[in-house]
Amino acid sequence: MIVLGIETSCDDTGIAIYHTKRGLLGHTLQSQTLTHSDYGGVVPELASRDHIKHILPIVNQTLKSSNIERENLHAIAYTQGPGLAGALLVGASFAVALGFALKIPAIGIHHLEGHLLSPFLSTTPPVFPFVALLVSGGHTQLMEVHNIGHYKLLGETVDDAVGEAFDKTAKLLGLGYPGGPAISKLANIFSISGKSNNFILPRPMLNSGNLNFSFSGLKTAVLTLSKKYKITQEIKIEIAHAFQEAVVDVLTEKSIAALKQTGFKQLVIAGGVSANTRLRENLSSRTKEIGATIFYPDHEFCTDNGAMIALAGSMRFQNDSKLVKNSFTIKPRWDLEEN
C-alpha cells in the first residue's frame, strides 16, 4: 500500500510517500521559518498563504523523487488537527480533492498521533505498549500507548507547552524564533566550558505527586534574571543552560515516574523538543538505570513533517479499518484520547 502524507498544521508544509513494504520512499519539507522570524512567532494568515503557494509543487516534486505516479497511490493521510484552522484547511481540502479525483480515501490524522508514531520510521522501532512523552511547541503530554488509536493521558502541562517555553525564553534573551535549537546551542557551549552555573532555576511541579507539568513560571524566572543582570553573551549562555537543565530535569523525572506507574519498559519521546540532545542523553541514562529502553525519531522527523502523517495513515489502514475515518473536517482543538 502506498500512502501520500500531508502535514500543514502550523508553519511547515510536509509531504511524504510511505510504502508499507518498502518504507519511506521520499519526503519534502518546506519550512516557513524565514516567513515568521521577523515576528518572533507564527503568523497564522501568512502560514496559510505559504501552504497554498507550496503544497502542489511539493506534492509533485515528492511524487517525482519517489518515482511514483499519482495513480499508484492507494490513500492520502492529512493532518486534521490540532493546529491553526486556516493552515489545516489547506492540507485537508487539498487531500480530499485529490482523493476524490483519484477515487482513493483521504483520511484525517491527529497531529500528535503522527508524532508519537514517528519512531516507527526508524530501523529499531518500539513495540506496543509504551509510554510516550510528547513534547512540541503546542503540547506537553505523557501518554500510555496501548496500540494505534488506544491512548490514555497520564499527565500534561497546566500552562505553557515545553516548546513554547523554549521559544518564549529565547525571545526574552533575543535569540530569535524558533527558540529551542537556539537555547540548546548556547546551553551546550556552557556545558563544554565545564563551569558551574550560578543560576539555579526552579523545577516546577517536580514533587507535585502527579504527572502534570508547568512551564510558565520558568519563563517568568528568566524574565526576572534578565531584568537583574546586564544581558551579555556570557549571561545569555549561562541562563540558557540553567533553563535547559531545569526543563530536562522535570521532563526526565516525570517520564521515569510514568514508566514506574504503568510498569511499561519502553519510553518514546517525540515532537520538536525530542530533538534536544541534553534531554535525549539524560533520559537515556535514567531509563537504563531502571531497565527500560528509550526510542526517539531520527532528527529530521522530530519536528513537523509529512512522513509521520503518511506512516500514521498507513498504520491505521493496516491495523483496523474502523480506525479509518474518511471525512472532510478539521479539528483545530482535539484531544488525542478522543481519536
Footprint on this chain of Zn ion (rule: CB under 5 A): 136, 304
Quick one: 5 or 271, whose CB is closer to ligand KG4?
Answer: 271
Residues 247-306 that bind ligand KG4 (CB under 6 A): 271-273, 275-276, 303-304
Q: Is 184 in the site for ligand KG4 (CB under 6 A)?
A: yes
Nearest approach, Cβ of residue 304 and Zn ion (Å): 4
The amino acid occupying position 255 is S
DSSP character at residue 127: -
The answer to whether residues 73 and 313 touch, using CB atoms and an 8 Å cutoff, is no
Nearest approach, Cβ of residue 187 and ligand KG4 (Å): 9
Nearest approach, Cβ of residue 64 and Zn ion (Å): 26
Q: Is 5 in the site for ligand KG4 (CB under 6 A)?
A: no
Q: Is 81 in the site for ligand KG4 (CB under 6 A)?
A: no
The entry of Zn ion, ligand KG4, none near residue 179 (CB within 5 to 8 angstroms by kind) is: ligand KG4
Q: Which of 26, 105, 138, 306 binds ligand KG4 (CB under 6 A)?
A: 138
Helix or strand holding residue 81 (H, E): strand 75-81
Nearest approach, Cβ of residue 271 and Zn ion (Å): 6
Nearest approach, Cβ of residue 32 and ligand KG4 (Å): 11
| ∠ Cα 40 231 158 (to 5°) | 50
The entry of Zn ion, ligand KG4, none near residue 48 (CB within 5 to 8 angstroms by kind) is: none
Cα 257 from Cα 205, distance rounded (Å): 13
Q: In what order do the strands lie in the sheet with 75-81?
A: 23-31, 12-19, 2-7, 75-81, 106-110
Q: How many residues does the chain have?
A: 339
Helix or strand holding residue 88 (H, E): helix 85-102
Nearest approach, Cβ of residue 161 and ligand KG4 (Å): 7
The entry of Zn ion, ligand KG4, none near residue 166 (CB within 5 to 8 angstroms by kind) is: ligand KG4
The answer to whether residues 267 and 289 touch, using CB atoms and an 8 Å cutoff, is no
Dihedrals phi, psi of 2, to nearest 5 degrees: -120, 125
Quick one: 144 or 304, whose CB is closer to ligand KG4?
Answer: 304
Coil/strand/helix, residue 130: strand
Nearest to 60 by CA among 47, 51, 69, 71: 69
Residues that bind ligand KG4 (CB under 6 A): 10, 136-138, 163, 166-167, 178-181, 184, 271-273, 275-276, 303-304
